Amino acid sequence: MLRGLLQKAAELGFTAVDIPEECGGVGMDKTTSALVTDHSCGAGEFFSTAFGGQIGIGTLPLVW
């Protein structure tokens, strides 16, 4: 179930909010990123932890 939720979030572009467009992301500002993260916290503790790990630990270091 969690894996499916993360896949759906990725399909909708939520996992690429902080990634610049030239790297294949959405390239939105930090305010929008904070709003997406804030709203993902309402989906449950496990989802918000996995989502934050995917973005903060997994994806952004690759972009930097």
Question: What is the model's pLDDT at position 58?
Answer: 79
- Closest by CA to 20, choosing from 7, 10, 31, 29, is 29
Domain boundaries, the chain: 2-63
pLDDT > 70? residue 43: no
Question: What is the model's pLDDT at position 44?
Answer: 65
Confidence of residue 55 (pLDDT cuts 50, 70, 90): confident
| pLDDT, mean of residues 32-38 | 83
| pLDDT, mean of residues 12-25 | 86
CA 24 to chain centre: 13
**C-alpha to C-alpha distance for 49 and 34, rounded to whole angstroms:** 15
| pLDDT, mean of residues 2-27 | 86
The CATH architecture to which 2-63 belongs is Orthogonal Bundle (1.10)
- pTM, two decimals, is 0.68
